[in-house]
Amino acid sequence: MHVTRGFTGRPRVPDAGLPPGQYDAGDDWPVLSAEVTPDLAPTDWTFRVDGLVEEPRTWNWTQAHELPASAYEGDIHCVTSWSKFGVRFGGVSLDAFLDVVRPHASATHVVAYSHTGYTTNLPLSDVTGGRAWIAWEYDGRPLPAEHGGPARLLVPHLYFWKSAKWIAGLRLLDHDEPGFWEQNGYHARGNPWEEQRYSGD
Amino acid sequence: MTDTFAPTTRFAVPGRIAVSNRAAAVWQTATLTEIRRETPHASTFRFAVPGWSGHLAGQHLMLRLRAEDGYVAQRHYSIASHPDDTGHVELTLDHVEGGEVSGWFHTVAAPGDTVEVRGPLSGFFAWPGDRPALLLGAGSGVVPLMSMLRQHRARRLSVPLRLVVSARGPEELIYAREYGAETTTVFTRTAPQGVPVGRMAAAHVAPLLAEQPPGGWEAYVCGSNGFAEHASRLLVEAGQPVDRIRIERFG
């Protein structure tokens, strides 16, 4: 890689929390959805888990809130290069939903889909073990619609396009099935620490 | 269960084209050949990229700069030039306050300098030139839309294309000399005498949907998040189906 003449860049702030190629967006939280923000009230929101499970199930807003509350405090990383530190989301761990539906041993991947029809694919192991949430609060307040409210998927250890906004459901599969951005050239897994931005990275 | 999965909900916006992943994975040297000022805050940077595989109007690339100590800054930028400009790409960049990459371009860069690019990237916002296109942009959000307009002209396409572009004022309007009868300009802060000042409104969008071509428009919206939310709502209210609106937001 060659040096760019006269380029110094912003002051170096060593930060072990910043994955390669990312910068700290500070207080900004850019909105990057590719579709029209849906007009979705909490009373119209539902979340379904089906596919390779013992007992497919749909939760409405009230039923989902009866599951044990769980929070995420930490960092998020967008493929467009910004990272945001110390965010606080509230919701329910995805494990709580999966415990109810009981995944088959053959399930290896999920497709998460939105009320808009947006899709994204993830290995099942990336959304279990306390690493994924259905989130409806940000910083103690209802999640704004443009950020995926009333509820979004939250998988903070992967690039944020995996954290589907306006989450409508998960389907468990025995194979990987590319989602919306993954069909448009983006990486199947999207691990920011390995800089898996595009297919082929 | 191994059948292809399709969500039970309405699919938002299916991808349009197959993307060359090999081209996207390779960093190439781009040599700056020309800088053209567009507005007091935006300039166009023309690069020679001999190995460029070509792109579709609306696609973007990733660009990186490297400091002597190895520090790297990379950004995504929409491509402004049209696809037939073989071996070249043009980017139009705002001078972002405090922006380390745009700051370098606007204060240091000179013809002969080299940077690195990879792409083209992402097929979602691409327009292959096949369907009627209704384009809504604000500020530098007009950049990928201009690639579409330039392609439309260069190839003398007969498929309808309309552009509604919003700027703070005439002096902030990027590509001001290039617009023709297909374009409606909207000025939000200052305007020449006799030209109204105000936000893009139903009055700009609704007539275009009333006179839509057979099969309807593919709508492309690009700009800040605030503009994208506003413009996409105008489209929906005027009757444009949500699954035929593609949105690219700054960030």
Q: Which of A119, A38, A34, A31 is nearest to B246 (CA)?
A: A34
For residue B242, the Cα-to-chain-centroid distance in whole angstroms is 20
Q: Tell me whether residue B211 is in a domain.
A: yes
Q: Is A174 on the interface with B (CB under 8 A)?
A: yes
Nearest CB among B25, B74, B247 relative to A81 is that of: B74
- pLDDT score of B13: 46
**Same domain, residue pair B146 and B114:** no
Q: Is A113 on the interface with B (CB under 8 A)?
A: yes
Check whether B21 has a pLDDT greater than 90. Answer: no
Burial of A117 (0-12, 13-18, 19+ CB in 10 A): buried
Residue pair A94/A128 in contact by the 8 Å Cβ criterion? yes
- Please list every residue in chain B whose beta carbon sits closer than 8 Å to the beta carbon of residue A105: none
Cis upstream peptide for A150 (omega within 30°): yes
**Same domain, residue pair B93 and B183:** no
What is the distance in angstroms between the Cα of B99 and the nearest Cα belonging to chain A? Answer: 8
Superfamily of domain A42-74+83-194: Oxidoreductase, molybdopterin-binding domain (3.90.420.10)
Band (pLDDT 50/70/90 cuts) for residue A156 is: very high
Band (pLDDT 50/70/90 cuts) for residue A187 is: very high
Q: Tell me whether residue B128 is in a domain.
A: no
- pLDDT score of B22: 61
**Same domain, residue pair B159 and B237:** yes
Strand partners of residue A83: A24, A77
Nearest CB among B19, B72, B229 relative to A184 is that of: B19
Q: Which of B223, B216, B224 is nearest to B242 (CA)?
A: B216
Mean pLDDT, rounded, of chain B = 91
Task: Tell me how far apart the terminal alpha carbons of chain B are, to the nearest angstrom.
Answer: 38
Residue pair A164/B7 in contact by the 8 Å Cβ criterion? no
Q: Which of B204, B202, B193, B200 is nearest to B223 (CA)?
A: B200
> pLDDT (tens digit, 9 = 90+) per residue, B88-109?
999 999 999 889 999 999 999 9
Q: What is the mean pLDDT of residues B28-54?
A: 96
- pLDDT score of A59: 98
Nearest CB among A31, A36, A117 relative to B245 is that of: A36
Check whether A113 has a pLDDT greater than 50. Answer: yes
Domains in chain B: how many in total?
2
Q: Between chains, do A180 and B236 touch, taking CB under 8 Å as contact?
A: no
Residue pair A198/B21 in contact by the 8 Å Cβ criterion? yes
Burial B72-94 (b: 16+ CB within 10 A, else e): ebbbbbbbbbbbebeebbbbbbb
Of the residues B68, B94, B121, which one is the last residue of a structural domain?
B121
Closest residue in A to B222 (Cα) is: A34
Nearest CB among B22, B72, B124 relative to A184 is that of: B124
What is the DSSP annotation of B57-69? Answer: BT-EEEEEEE-TT
Q: Tell me whether residue B5 is in a domain.
A: no
Lowest mean pLDDT, pick from A188-197, B39-48, B123-132, B180-189: B123-132
> pLDDT (tens digit, 9 = 90+) per residue, A32-51?
998 999 999 999 999 999 99
Q: Which of A155, A182, A177, A183 is nearest to A167 (CA)?
A: A155
**Same domain, residue pair B71 and B145:** no
Residues sharing a CB contact under 8 Å with residue B194, sequence separation 6 or more, in sequence order: none
B98 Rama sector, left if φ>0, alpha if ψ -120 to 50, beta otherwise? left
Q: Between chains, do B248 and A37 touch, taking CB under 8 Å as contact?
A: no
**Same domain, residue pair B103 and B41:** yes
Band (pLDDT 50/70/90 cuts) for residue B2 is: very low
Strand partners of residue B46: B34, B90
Residue pair A178/A188 in contact by the 8 Å Cβ criterion? yes
Nearest CB among B1, B113, B123 relative to A173 is that of: B1
What is the torsional sign of CA A168, A79, A144, B167?
Answer: negative
Q: Tell me whether residue B17 is in a domain.
A: no
Of the residues B121, B152, B168, which one is the last residue of a structural domain?
B121
**Same domain, residue pair B107 and B194:** no
Q: What SS3 class is residue B229?
A: helix
For residue B132, the Cα-to-chain-centroid distance in whole angstroms is 17
Closest residue in B to A118 (Cα) is: B12
Q: What is the domain-level CATH number for residue B149?
A: 3.40.50.80
Which of B2, B11, B29 best probes binding to A when mutated, by most A CB atoms within 10 angstroms? B11
In chain A, which ranges are continuous DSSP H helix?
61-65, 94-101, 180-183
Backbone angles phi, psi at B97, to 5 degrees: -60, 125
Q: Tell me whether residue B12 is in a domain.
A: no
Check whether B8 has a pLDDT greater than 80. Answer: no
What is the distance in angstroms between the Cα of A125 and the nearest Cα belonging to chain B? Answer: 19
What is the distance in angstroms between the Cα of B193 and the nearest Cα belonging to chain A? Answer: 35
Q: What is the mean pLDDT of residues A140-152?
A: 97
Q: Between chains, do A4 and B4 touch, taking CB under 8 Å as contact?
A: no
- pLDDT score of B141: 97
Burial of B33 (0-12, 13-18, 19+ CB in 10 A): middle
Domain boundaries, chain A: 42-74+83-194
Backbone angles phi, psi at A141, to 5 degrees: -125, 165
> pLDDT (tens digit, 9 = 90+) per residue, B127-170?
999 999 999 999 999 999 999 999 999 999 999 999 999 999 99
- pLDDT score of A69: 98
Q: Tell me whether residue B208 is in a domain.
A: yes
* Unique residue bearing structure tokens 């802060």: B189
Could you give the CA distance from residue B47 to residue B90 in angstroms, rounded to a whole number? 6
Check whether B14 has a pLDDT greater than 90. Answer: no
Q: Which of B250, B82, B108 is nearest to B175 (CA)?
A: B82
- pLDDT score of B23: 64
Q: Tell me whether residue B9 is in a domain.
A: no
Q: What SS3 class is residue B178?
A: helix
Of the residues B95, B121, B147, which one is the last residue of a structural domain?
B121
Check whether A154 has a pLDDT greater than 60. Answer: yes
- pLDDT score of A13: 77
Q: Tell me whether residue B39 is in a domain.
A: yes
Look up residue A150 and give its DSSP letter: T
- pLDDT score of B1: 39
Domain with B95 in it: 26-121
Q: What is the domain-level CATH number for residue B98?
A: 2.40.30.10
Q: Between chains, do A180 and B248 touch, taking CB under 8 Å as contact?
A: no
Q: Which amino acid is at A10?
A: R
Residues sharing a CB contact under 8 Å with residue A66, sequence separation 6 or more, in sequence order: none
Residue A15, CA atoms < 13 Å, CB-side half-sphere: 16
Q: Between chains, do B251 and A78 touch, taking CB under 8 Å as contact?
A: yes
Q: Between chains, do B24 and A185 touch, taking CB under 8 Å as contact?
A: yes
Backbone angles phi, psi at B235, to 5 degrees: -65, -45
Nearest CB among A23, A36, A181 relative to B242 is that of: A36
